[in-house]
Every structure is written in structure tokens, then in C-alpha cells.
Amino acid sequence: MKHVNLEYAGFWLRTGAALVDTIIILIIAMPLSLLVYGWGYFDSDKFIRGSADLAINYLLPLIATIILWRRFQATPGKMALKLRIVDAVSGETASVRQCCIRYFGYLISALPLGLGLIWVAFDQRKQGWHDKMAGTVVVRDLKPLQVNFRGV
């Protein structure tokens, strides 16, 4: 696979992609959680409200994200912005192991006041701590789209 016309995806692009993904997860998870637990779901002080909560809000996003990263190299937010997650050495699709490390690495990146996520803005390769742990980079294709007119 050729890797010309690629650039590292920066902080704001990745933040936009994360916001799109968060909205999609909320659109799916909120109605399901309300269906199972009712409006009392929001009154609970528990971190996990039950097995359905664990499945809907933790396991489903984990499994879906890993599958999307492996199959499409991106989640819907990254796809919308034409970003891809790839192995930092080869530029090929990240392995399942890398995807799992990257997913759980988000927790470590977010814990110290989000410093590991903000790190993307200052890193030469635009890697967050989760990318460094997993050996991945997020890239964007710079290849311009060719315009085709039907009448010409």
C-alpha cells in the first residue's frame, strides 16, 4: 500500500471526530438505557446501574469501536472527516491488540486532566498517549478528489 499524500491528523480534526462519535453513541445508548431503566436511570448514583447498563454503555461501544477500527480503520466520526487509524510503523491496519490497547489507553490519556488527549496538539506525529501506547497514528488523505462531469 502506498502512503503518499498523507498527513497526521491534528487535535481539532480528531476532537471533531470524537464529538460526532459521542453524539452517535448517545443517540443509540440513551433510548436503550431509558427503555430498560426508565427515567429513574438518571436519578441513580451508581456508576453502573446493572448488567444492561454495562452492556449498553460500556461493552457495546467497546466492541463496536474495535470492529470499526479493524474493518474501516475509523469510527463514523473519523470516516466523516476522512481520517484513518493505522499502525505507526507500517501504515497498515492496526492489529486487534493495538486496537484494544488504544481503546483502554483513552482512559489513561484522559485521567490526568485530559493531558494525554491534549498531547496530540503538541506531538510531532500528532499522537496522543493512547496512540503511543498502541503504536498507532491517525492520518488524513490529502489526495484531492477528482471531479467528473457527466456532460463532458
The model's pLDDT over 60-73, given as tens digits with 9 standing for 90+, comes to 999 999 999 999 99
Residues 90-144 pLDDT 10s: 999 999 999 999 999 999 999 989 999 999 999 999 999 999 999 999 999 887 7
For residue 68, give the C-alpha cell.
470499526
Quick one: CA dihedral 22, 27, 32, 33, positive or negative? positive
Q: What is the pLDDT of residue 8?
A: 96
Q: By the 8 A CB rule, do 100 and 137 touch?
A: no
pLDDT single digits (tens) 15-61:
999 999 999 999 999 999 999 988 888 888 888 888 999 999 999 99
**Residue 146 Cα to chain centre, angstroms:** 28
User: What's the confidence (pLDDT) of residue 145?
Assistant: 72
Give the SS3 label for residue 95. Answer: coil
pTM for the whole structure: 0.85
3-class DSSP assignment, residue 89: coil
- Tell me which residue of 98, 21, 32 sits closest to 61, measured CA to CA: 21
Domain locations in the chain? 6-141
